[in-house]
Structure 1
Amino acid sequence: MNKYVAFVILLMISVLIGSNVFLSFVVAPVLFSNFDKIAAGSIMQLIFPYYFKINWILGIVIYTIIGVLSFKDKEIVKSLKWFLVSIGAIVILNMAQDRSLLPMAQSIQNQYVQALEEKQNEKAKVLYSQFSTVHKVSSFVNITTMILEIFLLYNFLSFLKFSRNKL
């Protein structure tokens, strides 16, 4: 594999991991510790669409690069089988977050804010519970994605090491 192509793939994997870690362990805690939950949640809802789209687009780009390389080297797909499965899962999970979970959470949060403004405390309590459920699912998906991203990095570095030793 060309060293420049390998570098680009490593860079994209690093962006996936870095953005996930930064958003999960820096941005979200800072926002939620410095703003009220509704304001912090609103800010996160502005960030998430870009974050999820960038992640699934990067996944598709990585997948495509490996696909193009496979025209020249058929063994690359066999060598990177679990890498490709993982990148496919990352794309699907980020699309699910972007196209399904995020819109659900936004809708519930908007209804929750409206219920609070209208002093409908029971309705707000039910909506908060629904939001908590969606948030738990989204958090689980995010942690799963982070584990897959770390696996991607390990798997790709192992592939590069094995490829270099083969030459």
Structure 2
Amino acid sequence: MQVVAAIYRLAIALWLGGAALFTFVLTPILFRSESRDVAGRIVGLFFPGYFRWGIACGVIAIVCRLVMGGKWTAPAAVIIALMLTLSSFQAFYIEPKAAEIKKQIVSFETTPKDDPMRRQFSKLHGVSAVCNLSVIAGGVVLVILL
């Protein structure tokens, strides 16, 4: 049972660490060092894997909680379920929709901000950012609960 508990803690730590690294370190470095279009293209290439990483960590954490027993309605289990739901929403709805819209925007540097496609993309980006920060906040709470 100690091995399962260790895998559970590792899954949470890797999920939170991956999200924090991507959000607060890698993405800002890319956008500071490259043009907006190049940085956006690079980040867009990483998104599918980034979201799959979160989903994999979440599934592992849920399986570990089930194996360890305990109440499924415990705060940690609810937080994991919410985080997994948000990551799945980003992976299977927001990211594909945003990628499709991005294809229709020739350049974020030259396309006016009030362009309908840019406005649509900005809305999706805002929803995705809230989901992402919520996943990170949930991860922080889970680490504190450990």
Q: Do they superpose with TM above 0.5? A: yes
Give the Cα–Cα distance (whole angstroms) in 2 for the partners of residues 64 and 95 of structure 1: 17
If asked which structure has higher relative contact order (CA below 8 Å, sep 6+), I would say: 2
Aligned equivalent of 2:44: 45
Residue 27 of structure 2: aligned partner = 28
Change (3 A) 1:51 1:107: same
CA drift at 1:124: 7.8
Instruction: Tell me the residue number matched to 2:10.
Output: 11
Give the aligned CA root-mean-square deviation in angstroms.
2.0
Per-residue displacement from partner, 1:83-129 (whole Å, max 9, x unpaired)?
1111111111111000010011111111012xx5xx9x579822111
Closer/same/farther in 2, CA of residues 124 and 111 from structure 1, 3 Å limit: farther
Deviation for aligned residue 1:3: 2.8
Q: Distance in 1 between matches of 2:137 and 2:5?
A: 21
Task: Tell me the TM-score normalized by structure 1.
Answer: 0.79
Partner residue of 2:128?
A: 138
Rg (Cα) greater in structure: 1
Contact 1:112 1:124 in 2 (8 A): no
TM-score scaled by length of structure 2:
0.90
Give how far 1:32 is off: 0.6
Change (3 A) 1:123 1:142: closer
Structure 2 unpaired stretches of 5+: none
State the partner residue of 2:101: 108
Q: Which of 74, 89, 95 is 1:81 aligned to?
A: 74
User: Distance in 2 between the 1:40 and 1:84 partners?
Assistant: 36
Structure with more of its chain in helix, by fraction = 1
For 1:139 and 1:96, how far apart are their aligned partners in 2?
12
Question: Structure 1: which 4+ aligned runs deviate by more than 4 Å?
Answer: 121-124
Whether 2:143 is the aligned partner of 1:153: answer yes
